[in-house]
Amino acid sequence: HSFLSCIGMEFSDFHGVMISSVVPGLNFTLMRMVQTYFHKTPAFVSSQLNCGIDISYSPVSALGADRIANATAAYAAYGGPVITVDFGTATTFGVVNEKGCFVGGAIAPGIQTSADALINRTSALKSFTFETPKSAIADNTADALQSGALYGFTGLTDGILKRLLAEMPGSTVVATGGLCEVIASLSEYVHQVDKLLTLQGVKRIYQLNF
């Protein structure tokens, strides 16, 4: 409410609410929050809605809402074939073919998740910033962690993208997520960066259905 007040809006200004959630245990709380404050029943992104793309996944219900939203927005913006890579809690890759069908992808550990696990399990290592390393050869621990994390995950990203592009040649590769700009600047295969890709997908799915 405080945030909306700062930008001159009220709960009553909203026509509807759509939620992209990959934590089912929170869905009831999110739904009640929206019902209480917005007086709306929220819609949840899912494969059962019209997403502007077809989905070939087994089972379809296991495909995460974030991956659906990314694929929807990427296909709408760039056509197909298109590959999305989302640097979030996990690093997720999604592939939409030229006919507008989501045909699968890959899921790898997230860079922040992996770095946190490494630091938490190794008392001698400290936190570091996710910035482009000055050099791959680091002369101190913080820079060594930075080099390993950024170059390591760029290698992971490009290794997977190389294989995906071999199977889906001619694809546009679109990166999103918190660290997309840093990784994209080091990647050989990322063509576009769109930090709002997931939100654009959520909006498009809402517009297609309501």
Catalytic residues: 66
**Neighbouring C-alpha atoms within 13 Å toward the C-beta of 11:** 10
Task: Determine the 3-state secondary structure of 156 from DSSP.
Answer: helix
Give the C-alpha distances (Å, rounded to integers) separating 69 from 1, 66, 99, 166, 207. 26, 5, 17, 24, 12
144 contacts 161 by C-beta, under 8 angstroms: no
Between CA 36 and CA 92, with CA 23 as vertex, the angle to 5 degrees is: 135
Interacting residues of 27 by C-beta distance below 8 A, sequence separation 6+ = 19, 21, 44
Measured from the Cβ of residue 43, the count of other Cβ atoms closer than 10 Å reads: 18
